[in-house]
Amino acid sequence: METATVVVAPAPVAIAPTPQRKLMELKSSFAPAAKSSPARKPKQQAKKKLAGGSGGYVLEDVPHLTDYLPELKSYPNPLQDHPAYSVVKQYFVNPDDTVAKKIVVHKSSARGTHFRRAGPRQRVYFQPGEVTAAIVTCGGLCPGLNTVIRELVCGLHDMYGVTRVLGIEGGYKGFYARNTVELTPRSVNDIHKRGGTVLGTSRGGQDTAKIVDSIQDRGIDQVYIIGGDGTQKGAASIHEEVQRRGLKCAVVGVPKTIDNDIAVIDKSFGFDTAVEEAQRAINAAHVEAESAENGVGVVKLMGRNSGFIAMYATLASRDVDCCLIPESPFYLEGKGGLLEFVENRLRDNGHMVIVVAEGAGQDLIARSMHLADTHDASGNKVLLDVGLWLSQKIKEHFKRKPSFPITLKYIDPTYMIRAVPSNASDNVYCTLLAHSALHGAMAGYTGFTVAPVNGRHAYIPFYRITERQNKVVITDRMWARVLCSTNQPCFLTHEDVEGAAGQEEEEPHLPLVEGENALVVRSPSMCNGNGNGHLCSGAA
């Protein structure tokens, strides 16, 4: 281990204990148990590993195998003799390097939360030739999954000489319900050119005890778990059970989500590809709308609880007249409602494009259709088709106005945008992510998700990733930019604005500097009277 850190129960910054106390706390937190002890019901909150420093500096560190296997041997990192890497100056990460969670600070602000910087370490805790690694992909598809798989296999092989990498097929349940496949640099050579995941994926079927039995039986030393927020929660349980059994197995999460709904991290891989692919659908909707009398194009994009794809696709396109996302409620009828806006925009421009994230307006639809909630195998709410519903409502509205005929085309490219192979920049991102992941595992870190934070790759403890979802903050500038670009109504009530303030991160935003070209959110009373209330004042 590199720094003297503090292991504490969830609490603010701790005071440094003696190494003996640290060990005692760890020992009391697990017993080297036999396999499959009866399922332990209530989940203990994961222990946090915090180290304090001057000026309010806090390192939220990740577990290390030596936390519970203190006798573990370490070895020189074989990279130091690697013909390609040995010439790199400062190739190994400085043990004290950390990555700041917030990089915009004031002279008087505390230094705040930091994460351990990702990258290769001087010493590794595995004899490369003896490692069995395993890779699993869970949850929905996302461009770049195959690239991450490829780069894990090739990186382990080329950089560390690890030759035994097992693919777990069909998601979490594949650990105990399927055979594994051997992954070699040759077998994965071309997979990054294909969409989807060569390993298959699934929802549900997360049985921690059976999965860890499988890890134990197969002698897996490193497990790379690629998936979204649900998957990372599963990975956290697997890590806890691995630690409870005292297994020398590094559990590493690689965040994947088309929705970009994973907290803390800059952006998830595949997101850029998805936004790019969404442009094709928006372009088609625009061409159709422009070519018809009072043409309306409706495009539904993915985004279960977070509207990032819709927001970025709208901003990138400039052809969109209205963007609807789950975070920003809207209403149809009456003054300031969506239908009034559609009518006004058609009168002004003769055509319009609406982009709607699939999770938008779910309450409205459920209310109008009196439907009970249903859930998928992972427990996620199954969404009602907002695109179809919205198209229907718009058509019905204009049917009541025979002098105002419209032509509406509904385009649903949702699965198309996530089934494509990743673009060039996502491929590079996936490569770096895979490398950061395997460097961390080889160095003995475990129980972490790897991802860029403010442009630097970091190891982030699972609890940080799983405690909340990343959402569009509608009181932030980015959403204001969208509203400025589309010139759509704000739809917000006073309560919505109040509620939206609660979406913000726990660390308060810095006050805007006077004179800055800041964007401000106004209450509806400040929206202009024609229901076309903009949220912007000044350029961003």
Ligand X SMILES: Nc1ncnc2c1ncn2[C@@H]1O[C@H](COP(=O)(O)OP(=O)(O)OP(=O)(O)O)[C@@H](O)[C@H]1O
Ligand Y SMILES: O=P(O)(O)OC[C@H]1O[C@](O)(CO)[C@@H](O)[C@@H]1O
**368: which 2 tokens?**
């109008």
Which residue, 211 or 384, is less far from ligand X as judged by CB?
211
Is 258 a binding residue for ligand Y by CB under 6 A? The answer is yes
Could you say which of 157, 233, 239, 245 contacts ligand X (CB under 6 A)?
A: 233
- Taking alpha carbons only, the member of 285, 255, 310 closest to residue 434 is 255
Could you say which of 52, 78, 204, 337 contacts ligand X (CB under 6 A)?
A: 204
- Kindly state the smallest distance separating residue 383's Cβ from ligand Y, in Å: 6
Contact string (CB under 6 A) for ligand Y, positions 81-120, x = contact:
----------------------------------------
Q: Which does 138 bind (CB under 5 to 8 A by kind): Mg ion, ligand Y, ligand X, none?
A: ligand X
Is 230 a binding residue for ligand X by CB under 6 A? The answer is yes
Residues whose CB falls within 8 Å of the CB of residue 457, separated by 6 or more in sequence, listed in order: 99, 117, 118, 119, 432, 433, 436, 450, 451
Contact string (CB under 6 A) for ligand Y, positions 396-425, x = contact:
----------------------x-------
**Beta carbons of 138 and 380 less than 8 angstroms apart:** no
**Beta carbons of 278 and 309 less than 8 angstroms apart:** yes
Q: Residues in contact with Mg ion, total (CB under 5 A)?
A: 3
Is 139 a binding residue for ligand X by CB under 6 A? The answer is yes
Cβ-count burial 317-327 (b if 16+ within 10 Å, e if not): bebbbbbbbbb
Which residue, 270 or 297, is less far from ligand Y as judged by CB?
270
Is 380 a binding residue for ligand X by CB under 6 A? The answer is yes
Q: Which stretch binds ligand X (CB under 6 A): 66-74, 191-199, 229-237, 527-535?
A: 229-237
DSSP string, 359-376: TTTHHHHHHHHT----B-
Is 381 a binding residue for ligand Y by CB under 6 A? The answer is no
Binders of ligand Y in range 190-249 (CB under 6 A): 203, 228
Q: Which does 436 bind (CB under 5 to 8 A by kind): Mg ion, ligand Y, ligand X, none?
A: none
Distance CA 445, CA 442 (A): 7
Distance CA 360, CA 350 (A): 25
Q: Which does 302 bind (CB under 5 to 8 A by kind): Mg ion, ligand X, ligand Y, none?
A: ligand Y
**Beta carbons of 197 and 141 less than 8 angstroms apart:** yes
Positive or negative, the Cα torsion across 531, 535, 538, 540? negative
Pairing of strands 322-324, 132-137: unpaired
Q: Give the end-to-end CA distance of the chain in Å, rounded to a whole number.
A: 45
Positive or negative, the Cα torsion across 106, 110, 116, 120? positive
Positive or negative, the Cα torsion across 20, 21, 26, 29? positive
The answer to the question of whether 416 is labelled as a binding residue is yes
Is 171 a binding residue for ligand X by CB under 6 A? The answer is yes
Binders of Mg ion in range 219-238 (CB under 5 A): 228-230
**Beta carbons of 386 and 394 less than 8 angstroms apart:** no
Residue 334 burial (CB count, 10 A)? 10
Q: Which stretch binds ligand Y (CB under 6 A): 57-65, 121-129, 253-261, 286-294?
A: 253-261
Task: Please identify which of the residues 61, 259, 319, 496 carries the catalytic annotation.
Answer: 259
Residue 511 burial (CB count, 10 A)? 8
Is 326 a binding residue for ligand X by CB under 6 A? The answer is no
Is 302 a binding residue for ligand Y by CB under 6 A? The answer is yes
Partners of 138 in the beta sheet? none
Say how many residues make up the chain: 540
- Kindly state the smallest distance separating residue 230's Cβ from ligand Y, in Å: 8
The answer to the question of whether 161 is labelled as a binding residue is no
Is 205 a binding residue for ligand X by CB under 6 A? The answer is yes
- Kindly state the smallest distance separating residue 266's Cβ from ligand X, in Å: 17
Partners of 324 in the beta sheet? 356
Is 237 a binding residue for ligand X by CB under 6 A? The answer is yes
**325: which 2 tokens?**
């996302």
Q: Is 259 a catalytic residue?
A: yes
Catalytic positions, written as ranges: 259
Which residue positions form the known binding site? 140, 203-204, 228-231, 257-259, 302-304, 358, 415-418
Residue ranges binding ligand Y (CB under 6 A): 140, 203, 228, 257-259, 302-304, 358, 376, 383, 418
Residue ranges binding ligand X (CB under 6 A): 138-140, 171-172, 203-206, 227-231, 233-234, 237, 257, 259, 378, 380
